[in-house]
Structure 1
Amino acid sequence: MHRIDRRQIVNKLIKDTVYDSVMEILHESGSEKLTMEEVAAKAGVSKGTLYNYFKNKEDLMDFVEQQTIEPIIDGLREIRGSSKSAPEKLRDTSRFVFEIYRTRKDYVRYQKEITTYKHNAEISRRIGEEHFSSIWAQGTLDGDFNNVDPLIFKAVTGGALASIMDTWIFDGAEEPDIEKAVRGLEKIYTEGFIEKKPL
């Protein structure tokens, strides 16, 4: 019979509560009110207990970043692992990323209140590097994509998704038209920007 590790359950509950408390503080007051004291008070734990789990604010924020980003990395890994074609994976990626905006308010708050442009670009690169390289390789090998430089492919696809999300986040768009954005990206991918005129 499998024994329940109560300490593990308590640790998870406390960390989940701390994470939710950080997100609430970001929503209510912004990053300027984010102190270890404020987080402990919001989470309903003593400051000493909080320091048992996180040695300082930087350690706490590393945890928050990991909790915020990991589900996104897992979701993209699932898309890459599917048996779909590269164009379908590209479409699924766009839809998945845009759905994050609608469903993951914690990620939106984190992006808006905590990350600097440089840090945001670093996170996007870390998340997108393997994902877009994999889709590019499959699409090129299967003949679904034109022979385009992988750096350009990653820059255009990752940059477009990040820019649209950033615009929604900083404009505070409540209900963006996700399907319209997905269709618009697909049109750019398949038709391009420049009208081909007869010679």
Structure 2
Amino acid sequence: MRKSKTSLIFQAAIDVFSEKGFDKATMDDIAARANVAKGTIYYHFKSKEELFLFLVEEGMELLREGVESKLIDDMTPREKIELILREQIAFFGQYRDFCVILLRESWGAEDRQLEFRKMLRSYMSVIEKIVQEGIADGSFHDVTAENASSALFGMGAIASLHILLGKGEYNEEGLFADLKQLALGGLLK
């Protein structure tokens, strides 16, 4: 089956941004990797910045939908947080290049940062609601849910990125066990 041009551009952009970084990547590089004319990319995206933001938005939506599709109402808040940690780790393992782009490049230009934060906020609001649920039922400490959601996302994302950029073995089960302990049990014995 022939891939659509947008899919080809999307994958090529992920590859090129991951390899070269946002600043060094060019639309010519992306067009060559996708095996399309540069004009085809500009037909779909006005600029490299717009293409980058599209990638981030699509990736964050994929992560959010993947997590939300597995959350079940009868799960306890603890089980939901465990599921989120596991899904984030699996997502970053499966979409390594996207993980690198997301966490290495999205803190660039101020406009990009603002757009990225909006997209990330959509995902973190899912975590925040679960933290609030756990606080309300007494299973979690009374913490600021927004801080907890960003800490949970950040912990999984940065730990994943550290392994992926270090080219170490990405042991999802080991990483999950460590993050679960830290997130739900704390570091102190």
TM over 0.5: yes
Q: Report the more deviating stretch, 46-55 or 150-159.
A: 150-159
Structure 1 contact 36–47 (Cα < 8 Å) conserved = yes
1:99 deviates by: 0.8
- In the alignment, does 2:102 pair up with 1:111? yes
**Partners of 1:38 and 1:161 in 2: CA distance:** 31
1:69 deviates by: 2.2
Which of these two proteins has the greater Rg computed from alpha carbons? Answer: 1
TM-score normalised by the chain length of structure 2: 0.78
- In the alignment, does 2:88 pair up with 1:97? yes
TM-score normalised by the chain length of structure 1: 0.75
Q: Deviations over 1:95-141 (max 9, x none)?
A: 11111222113313423663337849837842443122111122123
Equivalent runs, 1:5-84 vs 2, <5 Å: 13-80=4-71, 82-84=73-75
Q: Runs of 5+ in structure 1 lacking a partner?
A: 1-9
Structure 2 contact 93–160 (Cα < 8 Å) conserved = no
- Count of residues paired in the alignment: 184
Q: 2:133 aligns with which of 115, 120, 138?
A: 138
1:23 deviates by: 2.4
Structure 1 contact 25–33 (Cα < 8 Å) conserved = no
Amino acid at match of 1:166: L
Structure 2 contact 124–149 (Cα < 8 Å) conserved = yes
Amino acid at match of 1:37: D
Q: Report the more deviating stretch, 161-170 or 89-98.
A: 161-170
| Identity level (%) | 21
- Alignment correspondent of 1:185: 179
Amino acid at match of 2:53: D
- In the alignment, does 2:143 pair up with 1:148? yes
Higher relative contact order (CA 8 A, sep 6+): 2
Structure 1 contact 79–93 (Cα < 8 Å) conserved = no
What RMSD, in angstroms, separates the aligned Cα atoms of the two structures?
3.0
1:189 deviates by: 4.0
Q: Report the more deviating stretch, 88-97 or 55-64.
A: 55-64
SS of the counterpart of 1:147?
Answer: coil
1:39 deviates by: 1.9
